[in-house]
Amino acid sequence: MDNILEILIPLIFAAVYFFGNMFSGKSDGDSAPSIPSGRQEEDPDVIERQRKIQEEIRRKIAERRGEEDSRSPLDAPSSSPAPSQTQPPLATYESQMQERLQRIEATKRRAEKLKEQIHITQTNSTLEQNLPRTVRGSARAFLRNPSAARIAFIYGEILGQPISQRKTQTIPGLTK
């Protein structure tokens, strides 16, 4: 029984393969597609249009290579001459880039000046807040300003008696 199944299964697969190829229109020798290459059936206008597109692409590539050769750091003459059409646009491009660079540099200079002005203004305002120039009125009115009170506390700590020599643990100016 095992021998019959070993023979029948490959025969069934071969029959299915054979009839499948017969109904699909293919034979064993025609494993390649039966569609001819696209060039033989294409319209001559389509072929001409493709040729023009390829020429245009080649021309653009040659122009770009010519521009790259002209921008080389050695400034050596290129072996392929660049078309005369690319020279005026290249010059205008360079002039535009120079103009943009000058505007960027001018903007940077203005930004630096503004930063310096802001820094000076902030420094001046900080000094005005921290160090009142004149004391008018009573000491109590003077110390109502929080920055003046901080400064007075720091001066009291610096100029006052050292902590190790103090008899009582108090803050200068305050008594228990």
CA distance 115 to 108: 10
CA distance 171 to 153: 9
Amino acid at 106: A
> What is the reported pLDDT for 108?
95
Query: Is the separation of the CB atoms in 82 and 70 below 8 Å?
Result: yes
> What is the reported pLDDT for 65?
86
| pLDDT tens series, the chain, 176 aa | 668 878 888 888 899 988 888 888 655 455 545 554 545 566 888 899 999 999 999 999 999 888 776 665 554 444 444 444 445 567 788 889 999 999 999 999 999 999 988 888 877 666 556 555 555 567 777 777 888 888 888 888 888 888 788 776 666 666 65
pTM, to two decimals: 0.25
> What is the reported pLDDT for 77?
47
CA distance 16 to 24: 12
> What is the reported pLDDT for 57?
93
**Cα angle at 107 between 106 and 111, to 5 degrees?**
120
